Amino acid sequence: MPHVSIDRTSKWKAALIGVLSAGAALGTAELVTAATGPNSSPVTAVGSSAIDLAPVWLKDFAISTFGNYDKPVLLGGILVALVAFAAVAGIVAVRRFAVGAVMIGLLGAVGALAATTRPGASALDALPSLAAILAGAAVLHLLLRADADTDSPSRRTFLAAGAGTAAYALLGASVGRILQQRSGDIAQSRSAIKLPAPVSPAAARPTGHEFSLPGLTPFQTPNRDFYRVDTALVIPELTAEEWSLRIHGMVDRPIELSFADLMAKPLIERDITLCCVSNEVGGPYASTARWLGFPLAQLLREAGVKAGANQLVGTDHAGMTIGTPLEVVMDGRESLLAIGMNGEPLLPTNGFPVRQIVPGLFGYTSATKWLVDLELTTFDKYDAYWTERQWDPIGTVLTASRIDVPKPFAQVPAGPVTVAGVAWAQHRGIGAVQFRVDGGEWQPAQLSTEVSPDTWRQWRANVQLDKGLHRFEVRAADGRGDWQPEERTRPFPRGATGWHSVAVTVT
């Protein structure tokens, strides 16, 4: 590559050349990823590795700040960093092509390293990144060479080459992503499933289990509104026909189940509330659904658990692991291998085809989505994903309560004001909820009728307020009579504690 003067190639154009080269590299990578699998995409692999390596405080910040948009924000941040680095590479390549090409190649090398070190990865997962290196270097050379000539036809050639590169980058990335998706296969698989009637239906919900109040969280969460907190940048896509579950490790009789095998078993139906350990005080990451599935403890008894086993490790289709204390699964609570949710098959975001549910534990130790493997082992021998990152290995749900009505900083008219919300302490139940205004005496709230100790309960109260700024606080006691502590703690390492409060202006 001949030396090119920085005077003849302005910095902005050189930066654009670098960005276009990186774009062509990514477009090529996404096309190749269609053949090697979505987890081998360099952007996805780097993003997944960033999630794994991020410190706890940063993960908490991302979840509390961006909520369900934390993953798009992460991917956007990666792309912004990539564009900036590629722009610098383009400027460097004007004077020293080899150095600029190496910088573009370095981006691909990082992608290859991330892709091949993911759980269940193989050497083939490096192919998209390697293809990206070749494409990026080739386009960098082509565009710099086209811009090195000064006559008008060559200038037009450069413009055409640049426009063509941009079109290829966008088209390659778009087509590659489309080819990677199997949404049609998953939708067809879900639509073909006719959920069997449970041999043990959920009990009819009693009168008074739900208050009719605008703004109050409903008892049952619609499937599409169910909270989602996980580490998957790409939702694992697995049809029911492809699905199988292996139960092995410290068992007498290893088991392998197909989806048809699971459907043929006597299934039960239960109302269960799930919540995430990342939930801040008053946070939104709790939801309730009516689940259909097979009792997990019964399945483990069929396999024959060996003496000494104390941990059940669930692995999802992408290799994510969640460790569950075996004693909790086997203590009589109705843990499930769930296939249905609110009367329909699970949505892909909620774990289709099969997920694990253990009432009374936070999701990070109990709720493996896209479940394909269960291994009986011990805590001494195996650290699952979150335990390895120093989260509490048991993950017992803490008693929590939240104010839904009125909303923070709302303006309400003077006179009678309704305050309401939800409270949960799965597997212990909620025994009482109290609220107070402006630090005054605690007052009892009315509770909705309990559906089961494994579900949340709504609460409400009316209070007379004068004009001015007022502050509501709430606390709950579980079914054992233990009240929430006042002290506020962060979610790490075993869940947030503290009283939720809301300030409002009475006009």
- Print pLDDT tens along the chain (507 aa): 444 444 455 888 899 999 999 999 999 999 999 899 888 999 999 999 998 888 888 877 888 788 778 888 888 999 999 999 999 999 999 889 999 999 999 999 999 999 999 888 899 999 999 999 999 999 999 898 887 765 656 667 778 888 999 999 999 889 988 888 777 789 999 999 999 999 999 999 999 999 999 999 999 999 999 999 999 988 988 999 999 999 999 999 999 999 999 999 999 999 999 999 999 999 999 999 999 999 999 999 999 999 999 999 999 999 999 999 999 999 999 999 999 999 999 999 999 999 999 999 999 999 999 999 999 999 999 999 999 999 999 999 999 999 999 999 999 999 999 999 999 999 999 999 999 999 999 999 999 999 999 999 999 999 999 999 999 999 999 999 999 999 999 999 999 999 999 999 999
What are the residue boundaries of the structural domains of the chain, listed by start?
A: 11-180, 223-388, 400-506
Say which CATH class 223-388 falls into.
alpha beta
Distances in Å between the Cα of 322 and the Cα atoms of 31, 272, 316, 502 are 32, 19, 9, 35
Q: What is the C-alpha radius of gyration for the chain, rounded to an integer number of angstroms?
A: 27
CB 393 within 8 A of CB 379: yes
- What pLDDT does 152 receive? 55
**Sequential DSSP letters for 37-83:** -GGG-HHHHHHHHHHHHS-HHHHHHHHHHHGGGHHHHHHHHHHHHHH
Q: Two tokens at 269?
A: 């139906």
Distances in Å between the Cα of 450 and the Cα atoms of 126, 189, 269, 455, 479 are 53, 36, 17, 8, 11
Q: Two tokens at 438?
A: 């402006």
Angle ∠(405,407,411) on CA atoms, nearest 5: 105
Q: Two tokens at 356?
A: 């694990």
- What pLDDT does 157 receive? 78
The span from the CA of 192 to the CA of 105, in Å, is 46
What crossing angle do the helices spanning 152-180 and 127-148 adopt, rounded to 10°? 160
The span from the CA of 21 to the CA of 138, in Å, is 8
- What pLDDT does 2 receive? 45
Dihedral sign from CA coordinates of 87, 93, 99, 100: positive
CB 395 within 8 A of CB 364: yes
Dihedral sign from CA coordinates of 365, 111, 129, 84: positive
- What pLDDT does 61 receive? 83
Distances in Å between the Cα of 386 and the Cα atoms of 32, 55, 68, 71, 448 are 32, 12, 20, 18, 35
- What pLDDT does 154 receive? 60
Fold for the domain defined by 400-506: Immunoglobulin-like (2.60.40)
Question: pTM score, two decimals?
Answer: 0.88
Strands 468-478 and 400-405: unpaired
Maximum pairwise Cα distance, the chain:
85
The span from the CA of 344 to the CA of 292, in Å, is 9
The span from the CA of 119 to the CA of 220, in Å, is 35
**Side-chain-side CA neighbours of residue 16 (13 Å):** 14
- What pLDDT does 37 receive? 87
The span from the CA of 455 to the CA of 394, in Å, is 20
Dihedral sign from CA coordinates of 374, 379, 385, 386: positive
- CA end-to-end span of the chain: 74
CB 37 within 8 A of CB 133: no
The span from the CA of 457 to the CA of 260, in Å, is 35
| Residue 363 per-residue DSSP state | G
- What pLDDT does 4 receive? 46
> CB 204: neighbour CB atoms within 10 A?
8
The span from the CA of 357 to the CA of 301, in Å, is 17
Amino acid at 424: W
**Sequential DSSP letters for 170-228:** HHHHHHHHHHH--HHHHHHHHHT--PPPPSBPPPPPPTTSS---TTSPPSSPPGGGS--
Angle ∠(480,482,488) on CA atoms, nearest 5: 145
The span from the CA of 165 to the CA of 139, in Å, is 8
**Sequential DSSP letters for 370-428:** SEEEEEEE-TTT---HHHHTT--SS-BPPPEEEEEESPTT-EE-SEEEEEEEEEE-TTT
| Cis, bond preceding 493 (omega within 30 deg of 0) | yes
The span from the CA of 298 to the CA of 266, in Å, is 11
The span from the CA of 483 to the CA of 476, in Å, is 6
Angle ∠(84,90,94) on CA atoms, nearest 5: 150
